[in-house]
Amino acid sequence: MRDKICCLIGHNRWCFREDMTDAVYTAIEDAIHDGVNIFLNLWRTGFDYLCALIIDAPKDDYPQIRQIEITDVSVLGDYNRNLFDFSFPSGLQNPEIKDVEKWVIDTSGHVIFFVQHDMGSTSSYLHYAENCGLKIHQVYLPPFYYRIF
């Protein structure tokens, strides 16, 4: 079953650039072609929101796709509930799950990731996913340069 499940890990930067949208769509289609039909979405960042919108788009072509919201409270409210097939409680609503990021990685066989640097929690969860043997679907973008003002 794990080989049918994919989680999302990503930084919040540059999430609504056109090239980012295309790159995420490519990674999602790659996962679908590898047999993924369940996407676990934590609703933590703009990357999660972008993925939710893109995963919802091909459902006419891939009716087997399901998207599950995993969160304490939907940060976007009821307006975007139609993006998800169902919600799964975490955190305070489900105290058995101590680290929800590790839980979705442990539950998944695939991960779609967008990480721009090798530090911080997003990067550490990517390394955890690699160590767990998940198939990595990387969101590729041209390099960005940070400016110091």
Q: Name the pTM for this structure.
A: 0.84
Angle made by CA atoms 125, 53, 47, in degrees to the nearest 5: 30
Structure tokens of 98?
């101590």
Per-residue pLDDT averaged across 120-145, rounded?
83
Structure tokens of 137?
């679907």
- Per residue in 22-73, pLDDT tens? 888 999 999 999 999 999 998 767 888 889 889 988 788 889 999 998 876 5
Name the burial class of residue 78, with classes exposed (0-12), middle (13-18) and buried (19+) by CB atoms within 10 angstroms of its CB.
exposed
pLDDT higher than 50, residue 147: no
pLDDT of residue 146: 38
| Phi, psi dihedral angles at 44 (to 5 degrees) | -105, -30
pLDDT of residue 6: 97
